[in-house]
């Protein structure tokens, strides 16, 4: 009987049921699509690190590390000096050119090292042989044992690697270790649930009592490319959760509306002797059923969206992306969480209307303010701390909606103007229980859109300035190293007009750093924002390197026995690795042997055409083309972000619709009264519009300051922590007004549109 | 005024109304004839479900009859209520009919004064604002003008509703069990106000009631229970 009553209710409330299912499905779609995409990208990122390194957590560096120093460290470890270190092995890891191929030579102790993942069964296992990636197969005149999955890497036993590099037998690059982490399992599960989460964990230095000559770097610091990518994934995953959060508000809204209409029926069943626990459970079970349906729809939609997003982000079409158990867990977990959580909360709030918990609200808000400040101020909290600040700010904004509406209600008499408009506006604040959550949800979605919009806009402006500064040459020449060498030799007579860039790799404080060598004359130095020329003892460092190695302009540091002074720090938007720029006269210049590219200050079209014929292997790229490509890539990067925000706004709009439907239940008597007084349907529409405008005003009033705060945190806290660069927040009107406009439109449409006009007056059961 | 006093404001012939819910049909009114002359009062009596409220809603133009003819006269014009469009009925209702309900008579988001002013604002702008204040003073509610309805007693709320219904001095005043929710003291006060104001301003009053005392005060009576 009860099931029939609930079923009939759901069918009769067709539109609000459909809206609830659609809202949850959109939230699930957002979560599923982003999870699938990020998991795919994460697996590609993992391929950047040889699998044999996957279990290593930290790396120990020392200048000119010798085998003796390593054995001394190992002896102390065996004696129990470092109980948290589980594994220790010497490593050779250096760039080299072998048979004309730029490769990374990786030397490991393959005999005693315990690298169980290395597949010795394929091919031979000649101790003097090497293992190479498929990209190098057949291009090296070496004794190849088998293949590994790491692009451009030559893996060999440590002795062979030393021979390949021409190093003495007692020289090493660094020591790799695995240090025990008591919450590693939790982190692993977290990574499965939220790919990229690893980048969000605060960087904590393990308690290992090493002497001062050793510098300890985490795997993330050692492999900035992977860290960079994971930071992007973490940002996306965190943003995708917004869809679920807003969906949660929506289902709560639905639960409140339904409960109000169902309650008389439930009370009648209760009077007939049915226990309230059974009734409430049945109610929540109804929501759970809807959530399961929405979960299935959302998962299918999410899989489709993931493939589309992946194609947008990477240009690869037709990629078959996997839906695994973690995706399903997340999809149905999110859906069920919002259903059960929203339903239970609605029931609890209904049964607990007498207490206001004002003191608890303010106490919670105070704690959250503290957490927000902690997350922003304390760099040690990392990316997670920054997102914690955004989360706590979101909760604070939700907490203040109701007190704000109640405060406004107490002052509603102040509002003057045409009576029907006044009536509509006041209805916004008259039933805080109906609108609080929807206003909060819309406010949050719009605030996120404003924050991300401000960040993207500011970033684009900085990036544009950066490109203007960097792309000061007319043409850049790229192509095979040999062809570049020939071209640079031919152009040597025109030296002032030609800039030859050489690249190499060094370690600064153990951090792999891209070394760039050029003629740092006034023109070239200006590309990095530096006035004057660079001397043989000065260098320019990227913002990432400055942050990683704690350097700033004027500081001195020593690398490979050469001491240099930092002449300036330049922004490196888009750089994955830290960069160090030196003049050709600098002693470190000899470490960069490969010509990477050549820039020409002037080259007209005719000359370019002739050069294209003379050097068919080279590409002559115009500055304007590079600029357009760079900006196009920049815009493509944020396609996913834009879609996620649109989904959140859609869900929030549905939330307002459901809340408005609920509110109409409250004003049915008023509506009848107005009709009996001769208020026309167009005037009723005006009242609806005024109420919707009031709802939008309340939501956008919260969204504006919150969005600007989000923007500031994204530019000044999250970007430096995630990518190592700082973006100056520019408060341009467009990224603020556009989301406000969409929010207003969503609220107005949701407040005015009515599906199924009879639904509101439909009695329960 | 005298000649108009004898003309019917509401005139119904053979009025019938049936409500349908799926396959079920409930006939509420059948063949009702009714006539209310200008300046006179009519009490509609009968048990619950006899169609009192339905008949009032027909007079107000909120619903239309399934059968029969209904005429409403205002400002010397006789309107075919049973043929008028909903838009036309709405336009006439807001100008010429005052309605007092049993419950939820006031808009909760408007103050007492704003509630009383509302018909004036809907029809003639703010020209009746002073009249609204006069009515509140006349009904002993001037000190409550700025309050919202939720702080008013039931009796006070009904008095505000009567004041609002009278603001435009409409030719027809409808009241649906206006005292059904009040104690005896408040009930008497509201009834006196309604009948007194109707007589004073020549308004026709149709009141649905269960109360014999209230019905006895009306000039005419239509019992729907038979």
Q: Is B104 on the interface with A (CB under 8 A)?
A: yes
The contacts of residue A541 (CB under 8 Å, 6+ apart) are: A549, A551, A566, A568, A569, A570, A578, A579, A580, A581
Q: Is the pLDDT of residue A493 over 70?
A: no
More confident site: A750 or A138 = A750
Tell me: pLDDT of A726 over 50.
yes
Residue ranges of alpha helices (H) inside A64-110 are: 67-78
**Pairwise CA distance, residues A130 & A137, whole Å:** 11
In this prediction, residue A225 carries a pLDDT of 64
pLDDT for position A675: 87
Exposed/middle/buried for residue B126 (C-beta within 10 Å: 0-12, 13-18, 19+): exposed
How many C-beta atoms lie closer than 10 Å to residue B97's C-beta?
Answer: 29
Residue in chain A closest to B92 (alpha carbons) equals A678
CB-nearest partner of A677 from B87, B92, B99: B99
Q: Does A685 touch chain B (CB under 8 A)?
A: no
Distance in Å, alpha carbon of A419 to nearest chain B alpha carbon: 7
Q: Is the pLDDT of residue A582 over 90?
A: yes
Q: Does A271 touch chain B (CB under 8 A)?
A: no
> What pLDDT, in 10s, does the model give residues B120-162?
888 877 678 888 999 999 888 889 899 999 899 888 998 999 9
pLDDT (0 to 100) of residue A763: 30
> What's phi and psi for B173, nearest 5 deg?
-120, 125
A655: tokens are 């939330």
- Phi, psi at residue A581, to the nearest 5°? -115, 125
Best A405, A411, A413, A419 member to test B by mutation, with max B CBs in 10 Å, is: A419
* Statement: residue A273 has pLDDT above 80: no
Count of C-beta atoms within a 10 Å radius of residue A104: 18
Contacts of A418 in chain B (CB under 8 A): 121
- Asked if A676 lies within 8 A of B60 by C-beta distance, the reply is yes
Residue A716 is given by DSSP the state: I
A733 touches chain B (CB under 8 A): no
Least confident window among A101-110, A210-219, A251-260: A251-260
Contact of B91 with chain A, judged by CB distance below 8 Å, is answered with yes
Q: Inspect the interface and report whether the beta carbons of B107 and A674 lie closer than 8 Å.
A: yes
Question: What is the reported pLDDT for A764?
Answer: 26
Each residue of A32-71: pLDDT tens digit?
887 887 777 777 666 656 555 667 888 898 878 899 999 9
Q: Over the stretch A615-639, which tens digit does the pLDDT of each residue have?
A: 888 888 888 887 787 787 777 767 7
The pLDDT-based confidence of A115 (bands split at 50, 70, 90) is: low
Top-confidence residue, A287 or A171: A171
Question: A 400-439 residues with CB below 8 A of B?
Answer: 412-413, 418-420, 422-423, 426-427, 430
Output DSSP code: residue A764: P
Does the distance separating the beta carbons of A677 and B94 come in below 8 Å? yes
What is the average per-residue pLDDT within A677-695? 89
Q: How far apart are CA B18 and CA B28, in angstroms?
A: 6
Nearest to A678 among B105, B108, B122 (CB): B122
How close B115 comes to chain A (CA, Å)?
Answer: 9
Q: What is the mean pLDDT of residues A209-230?
A: 76
Listed in sequence order, the DSSP H helices in A315-413 are 325-351, 358-377, 382-410
- Range of lowest pLDDT (A672-676, A679-683, A712-716, A761-765): A761-765
Name the residue with higher pLDDT: A10 or A184.
Answer: A184
Residue A121 has pLDDT above 50, yes or no: no
**pLDDT at residue A190 greater than cutoff 70:** yes
Residues of A in contact with B108 (CB under 8 A): 430, 670
Cβ contact A674–B90 (<8 Å): no
* pLDDT for residue B43 is more than 90: yes
Going by pLDDT thresholds of 50, 70 and 90, the confidence category of residue B115 is very high
Confidence check: pLDDT of A353 > 60: no
| pLDDT score of B51 more than 70 | yes
Q: Does B119 touch chain A (CB under 8 A)?
A: yes
Which residue's entry shows tokens 């009249």? Answer: B131
Name the residue facing A680 among B60, B90, B106 (closest C-beta).
B90
Q: Does B121 touch chain A (CB under 8 A)?
A: yes
Question: What is the share, in percent, of chain A residues with pLDDT greater than 70?
Answer: 86
For residue A687, give the chain B residue with the closest CA: B109
Kindly report the nearest CA distance between residue B123 and chain A, in angstroms. Answer: 10
Q: Closest Cα of chain B to A733: distance in Å?
A: 35
> Does A401 or A225 have the greater pLDDT score?
A401
């Amino acid at each position: 009987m009860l099931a029939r009553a609930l079923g009939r209710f759901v069918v009769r409330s067709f539109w609000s049921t459909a809206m609830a299912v659609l809202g949850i499905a959109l939230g699930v779609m957002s979560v599923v699509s982003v999870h699938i995409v990020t998991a795919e990208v994460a697996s590609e990122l993992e391929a950047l690190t040889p699998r044999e390194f996957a279990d290593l957590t930290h790396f120990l560096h020392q200048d000119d590390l010798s085998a003796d120093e390593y054995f001394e460290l190992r002896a102390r470890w065996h004696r129990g000096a470092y109980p948290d270190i589980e594994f220790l092995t010497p490593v050779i890891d250096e760039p080299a050119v072998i048979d004309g191929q730029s490769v990374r030579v990786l030397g490991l102790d393959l005999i005693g090292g315990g690298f169980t993942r290395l597949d010795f069964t394929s091919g031979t296992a000649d101790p003097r042989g090497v293992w190479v990636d498929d990209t190098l197969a057949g291009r090296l005149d070496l004794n190849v044992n088998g293949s590994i999955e790491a692009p451009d890497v030559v893996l060999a036993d440590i002795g062979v690697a030393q021979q390949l590099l021409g190093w003495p037998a007692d020289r090493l690059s660094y020591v790799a270790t695995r240090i025990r982490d008591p919450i590693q399992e939790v982190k692993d599960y977290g990574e499965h649930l939220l790919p990229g989460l690893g980048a969000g964990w605060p960087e904590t230095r393990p308690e290992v009592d090493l002497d001062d000559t050793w510098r300890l770097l985490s795997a993330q610091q050692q492999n900035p490319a992977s860290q960079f990518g994971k930071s992007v994934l973490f940002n996306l995953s965190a943003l995708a959760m917004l869809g679920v959060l807003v969906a949660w508000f929506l289902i709560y809204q639905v639960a409140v509306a339904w409960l109000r209409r169902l309650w008389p029926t439930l009370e009648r069943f209760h009077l007939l002797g049915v226990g309230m626990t059974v009734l409430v459970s049945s109610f929540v079970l109804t929501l759970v059923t809807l959530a399961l349906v929405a979960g299935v729809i959302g998962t299918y939609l999410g899989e489709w969206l993931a493939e589309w997003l992946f194609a947008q982000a990477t240009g690869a079409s037709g990629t078959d992306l996997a839906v695994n158990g973690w995706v399903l867990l997340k999809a149905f977990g999110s859906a069920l969480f919002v259903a059960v959580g929203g339903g239970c909360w609605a029931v609890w709030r209904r049964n607990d209307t007498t207490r206001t918990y004002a003191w608890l609200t303010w106490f919670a808000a105070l704690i959250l303010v503290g957490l927000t400040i902690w997350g922003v101020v304390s760099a040690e909290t990392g990316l997670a701390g920054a997102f914690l600040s955004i989360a706590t700010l979101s909760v604070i904004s939700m907490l203040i909606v109701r007190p704000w509406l109640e405060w406004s209600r107490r002052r509603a008499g102040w509002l003057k103007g045409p009576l029907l408009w006044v009536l509509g506006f006041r209805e916004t604040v008259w039933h805080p229980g109906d609108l609080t959550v929807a206003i909060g949800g819309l406010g949050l979605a719009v605030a996120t859109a404003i924050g991300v919009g401000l960040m993207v806009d500011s970033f684009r402006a900085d990036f544009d300035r950066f490109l203007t500064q960097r792309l000061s040459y007319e043409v850049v020449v790229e192509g095979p190293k040999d062809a570049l060498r020939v071209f640079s030799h031919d152009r040597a007579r025109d030296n002032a007009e030609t800039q030859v860039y050489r690249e190499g790799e060094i370690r600064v404080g153990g951090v792999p750093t891209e070394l760039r060598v050029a003629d740092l004359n006034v023109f070239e130095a200006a590309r990095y924002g530096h006035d004057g020329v660079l001397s043989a003892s000065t260098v320019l460092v990227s913002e990432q390197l400055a942050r990683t190695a704690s350097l700033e302009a004027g500081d001195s540091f020593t690398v490979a026995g050469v001491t240099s002074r930092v002449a300036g720090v330049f922004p490196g938007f888009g750089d994955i690795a830290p960069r160090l720029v030196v003049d050709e006269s600098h002693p470190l210049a000899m470490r960069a042997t490969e010509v990477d590219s050549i820039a020409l200050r002037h080259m007209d079209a005719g000359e370019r055409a002739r050069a294209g014929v003379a050097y068919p292997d080279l590409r002559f790229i115009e500055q304007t083309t590079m600029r357009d490509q760079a900006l196009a890539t920049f815009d493509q990067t944020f396609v996913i972000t834009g879609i996620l925000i649109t989904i959140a706004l859609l869900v929030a709009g549905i939330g307002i619709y459901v809340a408005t439907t609920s509110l109409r239940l409250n004003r049915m008597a008023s509506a009848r009264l107005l009709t009996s007084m001769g208020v026309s349907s167009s005037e009723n529409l005006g009242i609806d519009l005024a109420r919707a405008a009031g709802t939008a005003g309340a939501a956008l009033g919260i969204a504006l300051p919150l969005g600007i705060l989000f923007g500031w945190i994204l530019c000044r806290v999250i970007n430096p922590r995630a990518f190592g660069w700082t973006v100056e927040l520019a408060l341009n009107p467009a990224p603020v007004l556009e989301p406000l406009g969409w929010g207003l439109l969503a609220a107005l449409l949701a407040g005015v549109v009515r599906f199924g006009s009879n639904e509101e007056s439909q009695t329960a059961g | 005024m005298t000649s108009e006093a004898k003309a019917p404001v509401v005139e119904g012939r053979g009025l019938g109304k049936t409500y349908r819910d799926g396959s079920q049909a409930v006939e509420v009114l059948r063949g009702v004839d009714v006539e209310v002359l200008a300046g006179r009062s009519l009490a509609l009596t009968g048990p619950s479900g006899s169609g009192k409220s339905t008949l009032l809603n027909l007079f107000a133009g909120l619903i239309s009859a399934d059968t029969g003819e209904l005429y409403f006269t205002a400002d010397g014009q006789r309107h075919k209520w049973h043929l008028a469009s909903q838009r036309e009925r709405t336009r006439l209702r807001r100008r010429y009919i005052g309605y007092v309900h049993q419950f939820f008579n006031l808009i909760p988001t408007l103050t007492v004064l704003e509630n009383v002013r509302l018909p004036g604002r809907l029809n003639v702008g703010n020209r009746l604002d002073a009249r609204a204040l006069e009515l509140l003073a006349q009904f002993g509610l001037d000190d409550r003008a700025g309050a919202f309805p939720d702080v008013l007693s039931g009796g006070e709320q009904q008095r505000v509703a009567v004041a609002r219904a009278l603001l435009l001095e409409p030719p027809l005043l409808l009241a649906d069990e206006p005292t059904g929710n009040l104690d005896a003291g408040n009930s008497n006060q509201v009834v006196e106000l309604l009948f007194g104001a109707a007589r004073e301003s020549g308004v026709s009053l149709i009141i649905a009631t269960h109360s014999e005392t209230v019905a006895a005060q009306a000039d005419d009576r239509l019992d729907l229970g038979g």
